[in-house]
Amino acid sequence: MPKLLIVEGYSFSFYSLEPKYEPPHVHVKRGDGRAKLWLLPVELVESRGFKSQELRRIHELTEEHAAYFLECWYRRFGH
């Protein structure tokens, strides 16, 4: 699982073998919390272990870094 960014303790990554039928997205981990967010547009898909305040911050951070995440996604998986 390539790590793309670690910020404020949140680790953003994607899996090396992501399903081809899913749109660009990132996985976020911190402690026992896990989340998955689509990138176009940024939207929470699933989560567990995060409080709503944390999810809001994760959403903000994902939006801030979405261009970088998309660049990494397309470099790895193509269009």
Domain of 22? Answer: 3-77
- pLDDT at residue 77, rounded to an integer: 86
Give the chain's residues under pLDDT 70. Answer: none
- pLDDT at residue 38, rounded to an integer: 97
* Contact between 29 and 13 (Cβ < 8 Å): yes
Percentage helix, strand, coil for the chain under 3-state DSSP, each rounded to 5: 30, 35, 30
Domain count, the chain: 1
- pLDDT at residue 18, rounded to an integer: 75
- pLDDT at residue 12, rounded to an integer: 98
